[in-house]
Amino acid sequence: MSDVKKVVLAYSGGLDTSVIVKWLQETYNCEVVTFTADIGQGEEVEPARTKAQALGVKEIYIEDLREEFVRDYVYPMFRANTIYEGEYLLGTSIARPLIAKRLIEIANETGADAISHGATGKGNDQVRFELGGYALKPGVKVIAPWREWDLTSREKLMAYCEEHKIPVDFANKKKKSPYSMDANLLHISYEGGILEDPWAEAEDDMWRWSVSPEAAPDTPTYVELTYEKGDIVAVDGEPLKAHEVLEKLNKLGGDNGIGRLDIVENRYVGMKSRGCYETPGGTIMLRAHRAIESLTLDREEAHLKDQLMPKYAEVIYNGYWWSPERRMLQAAIDETQKNVSGVVRMKLYKGNATVVGRKSDESLFDESIATFEDDAGAYNQKDAEGFIKLNALRLRIAAGKGRKQS
């Protein structure tokens, strides 16, 4: 007899999670609560209600979390200029802590004993969901069907659906999708299919959000981004909510062929994985944020922040959003953003997002000192001689002792 009476499932309404609903009901003889989050995946989420009802689900949560996702997760991450392994903008990683938080909150609201997800035993998402769950509710039971059942192929899943009369689109049951995709407002990812060969070039019709750089307009698009304390608050002078900013930049970036990425990354579980990503708005945001920081941050502050970033990225990628180290790093990063306000002008053209202007009332750029023209005594060039000699002192001493310098 199972000790699980009720479980909250992260439910997309797709094949895998529809099977999981029935499997949980049969295997654990429990009540299933479904939770479907709209985080900007670009598909209607309301049909998940009908599908869940057809499976006998009584408690159904469908929530629009787009603003919370961008405001409380994407924006804080971009304050750090976060990229994993020099390339990946962490589009999938940053969505998981929000979903984990809501799973736990719904479990508490409904009196559920457990949470469940559809992540496989090979990927990072199982780690992210479960680390979040345990951090927010230490005694929660987590059910990960892909680590328990024997439904290890799409064919077995489809057979299970037919046997149990699970309502899926059987008209397309023989049409295997070539890619495993995950989307939210920050990005869309592609894995599987021909991408499992790192030498194979991705097919151009795979991409959903962007045109190829070659097919992008021959005329550049200019956009101005207004920052307040490290976050974009307006686009071309129009005040927008956080999720509206990202929606607008995704459209502008995608139309200009910006944000495509093809990488091989190191998963936390130990294997390498090849994936393709589209992050048009995020790519623009990253370049623009670094531009406004270049004006407003002190040199040592900026350099120390850059040293912290790889660790911060690793923490998020590996699923430790709810950890003390992430909170510590976030506090340090957010402290640097108090004066990161101003406007950045971007030129979007055939796959490139180029900074072409930046201005700020908090700027530390002093034109009277930096000028190549007459600075009217603002900077005494003779001061550089002593500065250089002091910094060369240890090198001169070592050389005088005959220390090898090459």
The pLDDT value recorded for residue 373 is 84
Asked whether the beta carbons of 34 and 57 are under 8 A apart, the reply is yes
Choosing from 38, 113, 125, 231, which is the catalytic residue? 125
Q: Are 21 and 128 in contact (CB under 8 A)?
A: no
Within-domain flag for 376: no
**Which of these is catalytic: 16, 255, 334, 375?**
16
CATH code for the domain of 239: 3.90.1260.10
Structural domain ending residue among the three candidates 176, 200, 229: 176
Same domain, 194 and 146: no
Identified catalytic residue from 72, 180, 326, 363:
180
Among candidate residues 176, 211, 244, the one where a domain is terminated: 176
CB 132 within 8 A of CB 325: no
Alpha-carbon distance 349 to 344, whole Å? Answer: 16
The confidence score (pLDDT) of residue 404 equals: 84
On whether both 154 and 205 belong to a single domain, the answer is no
The answer on 347 and 206 residing in a single domain is yes
CA distances from 97 to 69, 91, 318 (A): 10, 12, 11
Q: Give the pLDDT confidence score for residue 281 in this predicted structure.
A: 98
Quick one: 97 and 222 in the same domain?
A: no
* 354 shares its domain with 211: yes
Concerning whether 180 is annotated as a catalytic residue, the answer is: yes
Tell me the DSSP string of 52-116: HHHTT--EEEEEE-HHHHIIIIIHHHHTTT--BTTTB--TTGGGHHHHHHHHHHHHHHHT-SEEE
pTM of the predicted model as reported, rounded to 2 decimal places: 0.94
Q: Which domain holds residue 62?
A: 6-66+90-176
125 annotated active-site: yes
Q: Which residues contact 370 (CB under 8 A, 6 or more apart)?
A: none
Q: Based on the fold, state whether residues 22 and 99 are members of the same structural domain.
A: yes
Q: Is residue 169 part of a domain?
A: yes
Residues 25 and 121 in one domain: yes
Per-residue model confidence as pLDDT tens for the chain (406 residues): 478 999 999 999 888 999 999 999 999 999 999 999 999 998 889 999 999 999 999 999 999 999 999 999 999 999 999 999 999 999 999 999 999 999 999 999 999 999 999 999 999 999 999 999 999 999 999 999 999 999 988 788 889 998 998 876 644 545 555 788 999 999 999 999 999 999 999 999 999 999 999 999 999 999 999 999 999 999 999 999 999 999 999 999 999 999 999 999 999 999 999 999 999 999 999 999 999 999 999 999 999 999 999 999 999 999 999 999 999 999 999 999 999 999 999 999 999 999 999 999 999 998 888 888 887 888 889 999 999 999 999 999 999 999 987 7
Is residue 315 included in any domain, yes or no? Answer: no
SS3 for 164? helix
Choice among 18, 38, 93, 96 that is catalytic: 96
User: Does some domain include residue 100?
Assistant: yes
- Distance between CA atoms of residues 167 and 62, nearest Å: 19
Are residues 172 and 30 located together in one domain of the fold? Answer: yes
Instruction: Tell me which of 176, 192, 219 is where a domain ends.
Output: 176
* CATH number, position 152: 3.40.50.620
**Residue 86: HSE in the Cβ half-sphere, 13 Å Cα cutoff:** 2
Question: In terms of domains, do 132 and 234 share one?
Answer: no
Is 211 within the bounds of a domain?
Answer: yes
Report pLDDT for 169. Answer: 61
pLDDT of residue 171: 44
Chain center to CA of 127: 16
Residue 94 CB-density burial (10 A; 0-12 exposed, 13-18 middle, 19+ buried): buried
Q: Is 366 a catalytic residue?
A: no
Number of domains making up the chain: 2
Q: Is residue 130 part of a domain?
A: yes
Whether residue 290 is contained in a domain is answered as: yes
Identify whether the C-beta of residue 2 lies closer than 8 Å to the C-beta of residue 28. yes
CB 192: neighbour CB atoms within 10 A? 15
Cross-strand pairs, 60: 34
In the residue annotation, 204 being an active-site residue is answered as no
Q: Say yes or no: 340 and 203 in one domain.
A: yes
Q: Is 378 contained in some domain?
A: no
Query: What's the rounded Cα separation, in Å, for the pair 172 and 134?
Result: 38
| Calculated CA dihedral for residues 26, 29, 30, 36, nearest 10 degrees | 0
- Cβ(13)–Cβ(48) below 8 Å: yes
Classify strands 352-359 and 231-235 as parallel, antiparallel or unpaired: unpaired
User: Same structural domain for residues 39 and 151?
Assistant: yes
Nearest Cα residue to 116 out of 98, 132, 103: 103
Counting DSSP H helices and E strands in the chain, the numbers are 13, 14
State residue 395 phi and psi, 5-degree precision.
-70, -40
Q: What pLDDT is recorded for position 177?
A: 59
Half-sphere exposure of 227 (CA within 13 A, CB side): 32
List phi, psi (to 5°) of 189.
-115, 155
Same domain, 256 and 286: yes
Judge contact between 131 and 320, C-beta under 8 A: yes
Amino acid at residue number 28: Y
